[in-house]
Chains A and B, each alone.
Chain A
Amino acid sequence: MIEVRDLHKAFGDVRAVNGVSFTARDGEITGLLGPNGAGKTTTLRMLYTLMKPDAGQVLVDGVDAYTDALAVRRRLGVLPDARGLYKRLTAAENIDYFGKLHGMEPALLAQRREALIDGLDMRDIATRRTEGFSQGQRVKTAIARALVHDPRNVLLDEPTNGLDVMATRAMRRFMRQLKDEGRCVLFSSHIMQEVAALCDRIVVIAHGRVVADETPAALLAQTGESSLEDAFVKIIGTDEGLAA
């Protein structure tokens, strides 16, 4: 479970995140929807302890992200905005490296790695060097790498960005599987349809603030719209920076 309380972060005069609070629960998919530049990536970066908030608190399974950053990172599996693979290593070696950084035993690491390679349907690329991978293959490898230590909480920054239709469908299937395994899944997106299709709970962010935090049904009821897309546009006030 991830609890975010009143996060603030400014870069110079720009208030990137200006009082964001929400909760992402276990066994649910929580979507962070907002136009490009709304502060989604900055919020996530504060969640996975890469950035220090100016004010506010992040709790992951009750552990404070700033008093015990290492413990929080152990509980998180993160697909950052920057996918950055090591192109001179194979996909499997990329996964192993992160497993070793988590201090995993070789036997357990091998078992988890093989399970993820099968689960993400990437057997054919596992022993290839990642140089020249397609966008989809890169995301798969980055996700396997992020989840090798079997984290309870999964953060995905724009997971379907740049993927084709088939890869996007596979990714959504995989996210539902993570939810069914009882994990807390939090992902960001600027694609309304995706959030509508996947989420148990939707947190809408605009201009660094949370403008809605509801279940899809509640959002429809609150706005009086019949489709979620219309509801989003109505809440944010514009469809600029969003994608259907």
Chain B
Amino acid sequence: MSAFTAVYWKEVRENLRDRRTLINALVTGPLLGPVMFIMLMNVTINREIAKADRPIAVPVIGAELAPNLVAALKSAGIDAQPALADPENAVREQRTDIVVRISPDYAKAWNKGQTVQVELIYDSSRRDASTPVMRVRSVVESYGRREGAMRLIARGLSPSTAWPVQVADRDQATSQSRSGLMFSFLPYFFVLTVFLGGMYLAIDLTAGERERQSLEPLFVNPVARWKILAGKLAAICTFSLVSLLLTVGAFMTAPWFIPTEKLGIALDLGWRFSGQVIVLMLPLILLLAALQSLVSAFAKSYREAQTYLSILMIIPILPSVLLSVIPVRAEPWMYTVPLLAQNLGIVQLLRGDGVPGWQLGLCLAGGFVAAVLAVWGAAMLYRSERLAISG
């Protein structure tokens, strides 16, 4: 039996006996993503649906001045509430989403046929308030247009004279691409799973072995250190691959638990999607295994390695965050950047656009080049004298 397989099977066997590693690689890691995803999606979808249909109560200041407007609001499911003393503060303190303020000279101006002002007091930085704000605004605006049209007709003019240009929306988003927008954070879960799947192994096989002082006896064997490293990396990759397969499998069941049809979006997480995700993730499995080993090799103890790796764990989040904060157009070079490429590719798959061969090629090439560099770095570190000395 070659040294490589001896190291590989020993590490796999030893870690299969460790409950902490097993739970992290095979339970927490793979299921965390799908469960969080399903819960988040259900909460968002239900909130959106509830807000879109449910009657809402909106404080209206000066409601008695504009009974017709208040009636129009009510017919759209917006109930006028008694006025508040300090509407700006009420909005700021999140006691209400929006306050409508009708100016005191409303009736006078209305009767003269002048423009009247209706103030909407809200906080645009509060995302959960955006649906009620949109609803109130559209009701007020359409009420205004309707009244305007009535006035024109009363003067014997066609309402179209006042609106020479009309905007007509032709949204090209398919139901699948809309879902892609909503699920843009999904790639992170796949990356996170691969990371968590291999993390405890990577710590155990370098920093852990160092802490237990078993690295010195191991290196006394007549085996080149790179072979030992290769066996260890293969064991880490096996665990993170199994983790990835489990999480992809769990995501395949997600559409059963998410009422996507209520939003009119499609969520295709079938075999094709899963297969392509796994191919896209392959270079990351090796890259992360090597990076984790590299980082843990700097640590003298298990705990120290854990600290370093939790910092390293932030890096995979960056592309997801960046893409959601600054939505950039995908440039070809981006497909060569590991993590970013996986992010773009998986979002494309979710949108139903597919990943063309050249993009997949760039993604695999860039990923494996980075992985080889990381493996090389780890191998260099493994050759150092200091690594084996525990004391």
Contact = CB atoms under 8 A, between A and B. Distances in A.
A71 B222 contact: yes
Interface centre among A84, A88, A102 (most CB of B within 10 A): A84
A101 B213 contact: no
Interface stretch (A72-80, A163-171, A204-212): A72-80
Which bucket holds chain A's interface residue count? 20 to 34
Contact of A84 (B2, B10, B217): B217
B217 A145 contact: yes
B41 interface: no
Contacts of B224: 70
Contact of B390 (A82, A87, A97): A82
Contacts of B2: 103
Nearest to A73: B222
Which bucket holds chain B's interface residue count? 20 to 34
A74 B222 contact: yes
Contacts of B221: 73, 98, 101-102
A50 interface: yes
Interface in B121-167: none
B7 A101 contact: yes
Nearest to A41: B391
Contacts of B13: 89, 93
Contacts of A52: 385
Nearest to B209: A84
B6 A83 contact: no
Interface centre among B3, B15, B218 (most CB of A within 10 A): B218
B14 A86 contact: yes
B214 A84 contact: yes
B1 A100 contact: yes
Contacts of A103: 1-3, 222
B17 interface: yes
Contacts of A89: 10, 13-14
B217 A142 contact: yes
Interface string B1-30: 111001100100111011000000000000
A204 B217 CA distance: 25
A51 B219 CA distance: 11
9 contacts: A48-B220, A50-B389, A80-B217, A81-B391, A84-B209, A101-B3, A102-B222, A142-B217, A146-B220
**5 closest A-B pairs by CB:** A84-B214, A82-B213, A84-B213, A100-B6, A73-B222
Interface of B: 1-3, 6-7, 10, 13-15, 17-18, 209, 212-224, 385, 388-391
